[in-house]
Each structure stands twice: as structure tokens, then as C-alpha cells.
């Protein structure tokens, strides 16, 4: 059977994602909080954002255990993949919302999740067509049983033991912890602004 060729959204997924990350970092470099620093709302957004980033990171690490080395070899139906078809993208979206909250910048908080949803909608649909052509009825059955983005927790099934390709998983660790590194970068930029090293050119109302 001839597999469908990869679409542009699949081929350049990581490249586009990093372009968006750098675009939002550039915006953050020259803007500041949408409200007063160290105010109650500032603290609330910081704590809520950090909580979502932690959830995102652990979720991506958990999902990567099951995906590493198997993604193109079989239909993964264990762990988080038993409850939702795209756990890595789901946890990434949670992380994007968390980063938007941590930025304390309304423009980033609005644009980042919206851009993520618009772009990854194409990525997910392309991947589903590819996996359906590759795995046929096994994946078709999986599509019927497991939701795309909203987890169905009653379906969650984890084996007592699971064989992991350590080399592949090790390469996945950096991706899985990306949001923690971005959190550090966000605060580094904020500190440079407070020191007057970086100019603040505008404030998002």
C-alpha cells in the first residue's frame, strides 16, 4: 500500500513551532506586563502559569515514555494514548496557555493558544490520514474509541511493565522539558528589563 506523502504541516512542524516561539520571545523582549508588576493579578497569573507548565512537562514526559521508538511502528494504545489520541499536543497546549499566563502579557496570552490551535489542527488531521493509511483497520478502530483532544479518563489503561527505547526517549527529554526552559528565559528577559538592559517599547493594554 502506498502511504500518503507528508504534508507541509508535518514536515515543518518543529521548524514552524520554533519560529513561533522566537516570534513571541521577540515580542516579549520589548513589551512589559499588561498590569502593574507584583500586583495580586500578577502573582495569580504567575502561579497559575507555573502550575500549568509543571502539568505540561510531566504530561509530555509521561507521553514520551509510550511514544519513544514506537510512534511509526504501531498504534500506541497504552498510558495517556489510551485516553486521548494526541496527549503530547494536549499537554503542549496546556504549556502554551501556561506560558501565556507567565508572560503576564495579554497579547501573548491571547495569540499563543490561538495560533497553536489553528496550526496544530492541520498537523493532527494530516497525521491521522497518514496513520490511517499506514495501520488501516487497527487505527480506524482506535479513532472510533478514543477522543482526539478531550481525554476520556475511564479509558485510561496502563500496563504494569512497558518496554522503552532508552536512546529514543533520551532524545525526547529536551523536547519534553522545553516549557521549563522557556519559563526560565521569560524570567531572564523580565530581569533584564528591570535592570534597564532591555528597553520597554510598549505595553499591551
205 inside domain: no
Q: How far apart are CA 188 and CA 75, in angstroms?
A: 41
Q: Are strands 202-203 and 31-32 parallel, antiparallel or unpaired?
A: parallel
What CATH number does the domain containing 173 carry? 1.20.120
Query: Which of the four pLDDT bands, split at 50, 70 and 90, describes residue 5?
Result: low
Q: Which domain holds residue 65?
A: 40-193
Helix axes 13-29, 178-194, angle to 10 degrees: 20
DSSP result, 154-180? GG-B--S-----HHHHHHHHHHHTHHH
**Between residues 125 and 11, the one the model is more confident about:** 125
- As a whole number, the mean pLDDT across the chain is 87
Q: How far apart are CA 43 and CA 139, in angstroms?
A: 45
Residue 51's φ and ψ, nearest 5 degrees, are -60, -45
120 inside domain: yes
167 inside domain: yes
143 inside domain: yes
73 inside domain: yes
Question: Rounded to two decimals, what is the model's pTM?
Answer: 0.88
Q: Using only C-alpha atoms, what is the Rg of the chain? A: 19
Domain count, the chain: 1
- Reading the block at residue 70, the C-alpha cell is 514506537
Q: Which tens digits make up the pLDDT trace of 11-62? A: 667 788 888 888 888 888 888 777 777 788 888 999 999 999 999 999 999 9
8 Å CB contact between 108 and 24: yes
- 33 in the Ramachandran plot: left (φ > 0), alpha (ψ -120 to 50) or beta? beta
Cα-based angle 83, 96, 70 (whole degrees, multiple of 5) = 40
Nearest to 30 by CA among 107, 95, 101: 107
62 inside domain: yes
pLDDT at 157 over 80: yes
21 inside domain: no
82 inside domain: yes
pLDDT given for residue 174 in this prediction:
81
Query: Which of the four pLDDT bands, split at 50, 70 and 90, describes residue 80?
Result: very high
Residue 157's φ and ψ, nearest 5 degrees, are -140, 120
Amino acid at each position: 500500500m502506498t502511504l500518503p506523502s507528508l504534508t507541509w504541516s508535518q514536515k515543518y512542524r518543529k521548524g514552524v513551532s520554533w519560529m513561533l516561539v522566537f516570534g513571541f520571545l521577540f515580542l516579549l523582549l520589548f513589551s512589559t506586563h499588561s498590569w502593574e508588576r507584583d500586583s495580586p493579578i500578577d502573582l495569580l497569573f504567575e502561579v497559575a502559569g507555573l502550575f500549568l507548565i509543571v502539568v505540561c512537562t510531566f504530561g509530555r514526559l509521561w507521553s514520551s515514555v509510550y511514544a519513544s521508538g514506537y510512534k511509526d511502528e504501531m498504534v500506541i494504545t497504552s498510558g495517556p494514548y489510551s485516553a486521548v489520541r494526541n496527549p503530547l499536543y494536549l499537554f503542549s497546549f496546556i504549556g502554551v496557555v501556561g506560558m501565556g499566563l507567565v508572560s503576564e502579557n495579554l497579547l501573548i496570552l491571547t495569540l499563543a493558544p490561538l495560533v497553536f490551535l489553528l496550526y496544530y489542527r492541520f498537523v493532527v488531521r494530516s497525521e491521522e490520514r497518514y496513520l490511517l493509511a499506514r495501520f488501516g483497520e487497527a487505527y480506524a478502530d482506535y479513532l472510533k474509541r478514543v477522543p482526539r483532544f478531550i481525554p476520556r479518563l475511564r479509558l485510561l489503561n496502563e500496563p504494569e511493565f512497558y518496554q522503552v527505547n532508552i536512546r529514543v526517549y533520551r532524545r525526547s527529554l529536551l523536547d519534553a522539558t522545553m516549557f521549563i526552559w522557556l519559563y526560565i528565559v521569560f524570567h531572564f528577559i523580565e530581569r533584564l528589563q528591570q535592570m534597564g538592559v532591555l528597553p520597554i517599547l510598549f505595553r499591551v493594554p
